[in-house]
């Protein structure tokens, strides 16, 4: 394994540069300033790192990658600490500590990928140009589940959310395929640099040709699928919908003295929609300002802006509420009611937010309960399932559940014709978090070929079509009512059918490579 001779300091600088470049490729917004899209940077952002680590021992590879990953995660998810400090009631030190722990854990996942690839390459066999993206995807799959149910944020795929032809492969290989592609191209460029530096890189022109052919194939597939899905959508049944963004500040959201005022803000907007063709109105997460009893079967229609004369004629309403049950059990739920206030269906959030809705590993680390957010300890739902509004089935997702691909996929397989995500991004203030959240949700629409509705309390609310176009969206921290329509889709994509087979294959290859690598190590003594 050949490497470019350079000092330790230069290698660290290259790692830092990669970390900053990756972070720059993500959506950026802070205090009203929005940076232009720079997702294209991701295609070479990892090159300095890959040049720096080439030929080094796995331990050194891990340390340099840790530097890069710590920079990009620390700069892209700093808003976690802001949410806990400003709105969660935690001290600056505790919120900073929790954020640091989160960044460290996520950094460890990514840092292990090049280190494992180096180990396999040196102890067994394999080309870095393939090993790096294969193992990278394997670790991203691991990050999707561990720890605390996973936190698949700030992935390399997130940077590509606006490059629609490139991300259409997600309907076969999921967002993991996009991650593989970006890392693969970075590794290819690094290989080209080694060749130019006259290092003994085997078959450089062949490798470069393969990279170009892969990009060309991905783009060709993307344009073809976009045209095909658009053609299918044209003949699909139209379903009018509306999203209401109340813009209730986090300070006021649970203020009992302002509960009626907050409810009225939604009721008044909903009442304006009664004379139109809208069939479903979607309110954000926890938009109902009081606790609901878990056994509630009916609610006053006036709660949703429906006067008596419109009962039976008004749209269905999907809203977020906190349900209370016996023994101090609370659930973060999505509730669907008809025009008469009858509760048609209830979905309880399955994937809880650590330290926001529950304390992870509470029995083992009982002292963590002291630093939990004051929102309480919620109980998760048992499964994800579609709701039905007048015979139209859709997938309800609450908060950041839309960043976990298996949830949207599972409900789509059960007959969900579109995806409705209700969330509250007021926690994160004027940061990039709402825009990053939107970017991640795009992939659920493409993977499953479904329209995605996003109703948020303070933005960004949006309607996304099955190829990832943002058809309409709200501004951040502004009240908004979005009236739009979607197409009912019954197409089942390859990804929806087969799930994360590609990522699992990468994980299997990684495990096999580690096994034979360890075997080779012990044989040599």
Compute CA distances 482 → 22, 238, 246, 465, 479, whole Å.
33, 16, 11, 15, 10
CA dist 87 to 397, 429, 451, Å? 23, 9, 32
Catalytic residues: 285, 349, 399
Instruction: Tell whether the torsion through CA atoms of 338, 343, 345 and 351 is positive or negative.
Output: positive
Q: What are phi and psi of 332, to 5 degrees?
A: -85, 115
* Residues whose CB falls within 8 Å of the CB of residue 43, separated by 6 or more in sequence, listed in order: 182, 185, 186, 189
DSSP letter at 355? T
Burial group, residue 173, by CB count within 10 angstroms (0-12, 13-18, 19+):
buried
The radius of gyration of the chain's CA atoms, rounded to the nearest angstrom, is 24
d(CA 321, CA 290): 8
Q: What is the per-residue DSSP string for 46-111? A: THHHHHHHTT--HHHHHHHHHHHHHHHHHHHSTHHHHIIIIIS---HHHHHHHHHHHHHHHHHHHH
> 75-102 burial string, b = 16+ CB within 10 Å, else e?
bbbbbbbbbbbbbbebeeebbbebbeeb
Measured distance CA(506)–CA(422) in Å, rounded: 33
**Angle at alpha carbon of residue 448, lines to 130 and 488, rounded to 5°:** 160
Given a contact cutoff of 8 angstroms between Cβ atoms, the answer to whether 269 and 482 are in contact is no
Would you state the structure tokens that stand for residue 317, as one six-digit string?
């309403």
Long-range contacts, stretch 203-206, CB < 8 angstroms, 24+ apart: none
């Amino acid at each position: 394994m050949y490497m470019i001779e350079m000092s330790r300091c230069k290698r660290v600088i290259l790692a830092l540069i990669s970390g900053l470049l990756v972070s720059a490729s993500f959506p950026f917004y802070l205090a009203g300033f929005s940076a232009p899209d720079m997702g294209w940077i991701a295609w070479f952002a990892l090159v300095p790192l890959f040049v720096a680590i080439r030929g080094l021992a796995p331990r050194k590879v891990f340390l340099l990658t840790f530097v890069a990953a710590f920079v990009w995660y620390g700069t892209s998810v700093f808003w976690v600490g802001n949410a806990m400090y400003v709105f969660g009631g935690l001290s600056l030190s505790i919120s900073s500590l929790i954020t640091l722990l989160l960044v460290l854990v996520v950094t460890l996942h990514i840092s292990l990928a090049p280190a494992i690839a180096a180990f396999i390459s040196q102890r067994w066999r394999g080309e870095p140009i393939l090993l790096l993206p294969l193992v990278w995807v394997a670790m991203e799959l691991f990050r999707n589940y561990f720890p605390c149910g996973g936190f698949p944020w700030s992935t390399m795929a997130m940077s590509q959310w606006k490059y629609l032809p490139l991300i259409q492969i997600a309907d076969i290989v999921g967002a993991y395929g996009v991650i593989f592609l970006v890392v693969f191209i970075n590794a290819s460029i690094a290989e080209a640099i080694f060749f130019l530096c006259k290092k003994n890189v085997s078959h450089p022109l062949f490798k470069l040709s393969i990279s170009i052919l892969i990009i060309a194939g991905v783009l060709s597939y993307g344009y073809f699928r976009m045209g095909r899905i658009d053609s299918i959508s044209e003949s699909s049944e139209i379903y009018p919908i509306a999203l209401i963004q109340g813009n209730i500040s986090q300070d006021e959201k649970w203020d009992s003295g302002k509960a009626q005022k907050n409810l009225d803000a939604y009721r008044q907007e909903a009442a304006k929609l009664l004379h139109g063709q809208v069939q479903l109105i979607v309110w954000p997460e926890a938009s109902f300002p009081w606790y609901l009893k878990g056994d509630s079967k009916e609610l006053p229609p006036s709660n949703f802006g429906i006067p008596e004369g419109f009962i039976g004629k008004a749209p269905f309403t999907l809203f977020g509420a906190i349900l209370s049950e016996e023994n101090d059990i609370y659930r973060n739920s999505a509730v669907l009611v008809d025009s008469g206030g009858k509760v048609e269906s209830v979905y309880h959030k399955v994937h809880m937010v650590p330290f926001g809705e529950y304390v992870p590993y509470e029995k083992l680390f009982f002292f963590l309960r002291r630093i939990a957010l004051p929102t309480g300890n919620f109980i998760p739902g048992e499964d994800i399932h579609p709701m039905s509004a007048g015979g139209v089935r859709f997938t309800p997702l609450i908060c950041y559940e839309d960043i976990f691909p298996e949830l949207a996929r599972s409900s789509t397989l059960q007959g969900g014709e579109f995806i409705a995500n209700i969330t509250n991004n007021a926690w994160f203030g004027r940061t990039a978090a709402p825009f990053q959240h939107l970017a991640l949700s795009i992939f659920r629409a493409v993977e499953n070929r479904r329209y995605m509705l996003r109703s948020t309390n303070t933005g960004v609310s949006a309607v996304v079509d099955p190829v990832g176009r943002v058809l309409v969206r709200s501004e951040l921290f502004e009240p908004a009512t979005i009236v739009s329509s979607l197409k009912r889709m019954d197409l089942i994509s390859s990804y929806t059918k087969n799930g994360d087979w590609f990522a699992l294959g990468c994980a299997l290859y990684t495990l096999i490579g580690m096994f034979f690598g360890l075997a080779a190590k012990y044989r040599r003594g």
